[in-house]
A and B are shown apart, each in its own frame.
Chain A
Amino acid sequence: MTDTTSQGGPGGSPSGEETASSFSLGDLMRSPASGAFMGLAMVFIVFAIFGFQRNFLSVGGVSTWVNFASTVGMIAIPVGFLMIAGELDISTGAVLPASAMTVAITSGYYEMPILLGIFASLAVGALIGFINGMIVTRTQVPSFIVTLATLFAVAGLTLTLSIVFINTTQTSLSAPDWAKNLFGGRLLGGFRSSVFWWIAMIVGFIYFLHKSPWGNWVFALGGDQESARNAGIPVQRLKIGLFMLSSTSTAFAGVLQTIQFNAATSQANFGMIFNTIIACVVGGLLLTGGFGTVMGIVFGTLTLAVVQQGIGYTEIDRNLSFLIIGVMLLIAVLMNDTFRNLATSWSTKKK
């Protein structure tokens, strides 16, 4: 939870004068990202050994799982923010197709400018997040139930409206070249532009959660909401904002996917819900809130991607990937407790 946690991963400390103390063992150990990083390193090494003959380490192999990670990751981080704030958002599984269909119908079927389609799509995402946030803050209903309800409501609405507007549940979109390159291109031999968007978003999210004062408030929400309110933190507005951030990020992922594959479907993506939550938990977030780092979620996402997608480039049986994820999740949850205890009891002995 210290500032140094965000620097636990690659990147290092931006402020040189404190570098020496930033990398002390204590700071590393109490970072929730360290467990996630070790998990990623372990999985990566094992897969690299079994995949050495099967192109796991080739550009094609690496880009496959990194591309997958970028989509999951840009949704998982803001979902993780909600988890840190003590809430949960599972409506992402429906926001993804809703936003994809919005951009495809607007800019594909009706042939409006692509920017308008993207804007409409992000607006749909923001609106769903706003509704989630309003219901969660105005009622005492747990956010799991609220977003479960919006998940199904939005999924149903997407299917129905698709039929109403274009009389089919999927459609194509061919974006102009500049948009195709910017949002759905391939670079450096196979990496999708979504990877670079993801990296940019990681930087922004790290600033938000670990550097800006607002990040403090997010942790406070998950730590003790009543005290946070007493400390003068705009609890309700912050929560609504976080829900909007999560669904807008999801919508952006939907836009990227649609432009990349030139097509959108209105089928709900239930797998994405699990993927984001697994990424967060493997990344060291506590389901009870108040603890976690952006880099932890990034490591969790990459681990998940290696196991789910990278497995095709190894000699490990593809069918084992779910088993591996299940075991990993369990280990992560058990480890998280240990790490939290270490974190609270650790006191650095700086003279």
Chain B
Amino acid sequence: MSSGNPVIELRSVDKSFGPIDVLHEISLKVGEGEVLCLLGDNGAGKSTLIKTLAGVHQPTRGEILMDGQPTTFSGPRDAQARGIATVHQFGGTYPLMSVGRNFFMGVEPTRNVGPFKVFDREKANRIAVEEVQKMGITRITDGDRLVGGLSGGERQSLAIARAVHFGARVLILDEPTAALGVKQAAHVLRIVNEAKRRGLAVIFITHQVMHAMAVGDHFAVLIRGAIAADFRKGDKTREEIADLMAGGESMADLEANIEGYMETHDGHPPQPAA
């Protein structure tokens, strides 16, 4: 699936904050047109890893390579300038602003009216709607529409379309489907596939195994700051992955325990320990 050369690669990256080690020996790589799913429970170090990739944190040890060249990002702007785009759960969109203005936030197209630079609303709206539609969201037809009126999935898609339009090469999606319903999530997953088809390297962070399985080529499971498993599509079943994420404790065992308890207690499940 990968076209050989990884776009971005981490080589045994460690990150610690003072005495606390958050990431140990993280090595991973993503190539063009490849989706790497980063799975992990809450507190596994996913956010720190994202921030390291996005230039917010510098690795304590180890190195980051882009196109095979060792690099350091001086900050998030630097990482962005080199084509690393991060889309967070709520998409980085402004609910009370129009689609066009959201899309071009920070890079507004302008036209000159006399000596003044004026935001070119027509152009912004046209390009925004075009780009979003190209990503497969056909419901957005009016660039003047306020983003607050869009669904969560559409907002997410708008943010992804924006990153793609502005030349992102690596797309980091931080839990894009976590707050979405089934249909909305499917929406976003379609967009992820579209981004992949266009040759972006996608890092998809989630704890929903189903969503990961739907788009991922390559999976890494993060437990307590280390990569506990690294495998390719089709190597493991959904149950196996869920077990891995739960920290090796088998979900199947847990289920068996509950069933056993219920049989001996008139069908009541065990009370959770208060």
Contact = CB atoms under 8 A, between A and B. Distances in A.
A complexed with B: yes
Interface of A: 1-4, 14, 18, 27, 30, 207, 211-213, 215-217, 219-220, 223-224, 226-228, 230-233, 286, 290-291, 340, 343-348, 350
Contacts of B117: 212-213
A228 B118 contact: no
B74 to A, nearest CB: 14
A60 B107 CA distance: 49
A2 B116 contact: no
A227 B94 contact: yes
Interface stretch (B14-22, B95-103, B209-217, B260-268): B95-103
B165 interface: no
Given A30-B146, A207-B116, A344-B149, A223 B106 contact: no
Given A30-B146, A348-B145, A220 B94 contact: yes
A230 B122 CA distance: 25
Given A217-B106, A220-B94, A230-B76, A344 B119 contact: no
15 contacts: A2-B121, A14-B113, A212-B117, A213-B117, A216-B108, A220-B94, A223-B95, A230-B92, A231-B106, A232-B77, A290-B97, A343-B148, A344-B149, A346-B149, A347-B142
B118 A212 contact: yes
Interface in B52-80: 76-77, 80
Interface string B7-46: 0000000000000000000000000000000000000000
A343 B94 contact: no
B49 to A, nearest CB: 17
- Residue of B80, B96, B145, B146 most packed against chain A (CB within 10 A): B96
B246 to A, nearest CB: 31
A4 B116 CA distance: 18
B97 A348 contact: no
A227 B93 contact: yes
B96 A343 contact: yes
Interface string B75-92: 011001000001010101
B86 A230 contact: yes
A346 to B, nearest CB: 7
A330 B105 CA distance: 33
Contact of A224 (B92, B108, B141): B92
Contacts of B122: 18
Contacts of B148: 343-344
Contacts of A348: 142, 144-145
B110 interface: yes
B103 to A, nearest CB: 11
A227 B146 CA distance: 17
Contacts of B110: 213
A219 B146 contact: no
A347 B105 contact: no
B82 to A, nearest CB: 13
Contact of A215 (B98, B107, B119, B146): B119
Contact of A290 (B80, B96, B98, B105): B96
Contacts of A216: 97, 101, 104-105, 108, 119
A162 to B, nearest CB: 41
A233 B102 CA distance: 13
Contacts of A213: 108, 110, 117, 119
B97 A3 contact: no
A177 to B, nearest CB: 32
Nearest to B109: A213
B27 to A, nearest CB: 27
Given A219-B94, A231-B92, A350-B142, 12 more contacts: A1-B96, A2-B98, A211-B116, A212-B118, A216-B101, A217-B106, A223-B95, A224-B90, A227-B88, A228-B106, A344-B96, A344-B146
Given A1-B146, A232-B77, A344 B95 contact: yes
Contacts of A4: 144
A346 B148 CA distance: 10
A82 B119 CA distance: 21
A220 B96 contact: no
Contact of A223 (B76, B97, B116): B97
A233 B119 contact: no
Nearest to A343: B146
Contacts of A286: 96
A200 to B, nearest CB: 15
Contacts of B146: 1, 30, 343-344, 346
Contacts of A340: 96
B167 to A, nearest CB: 14
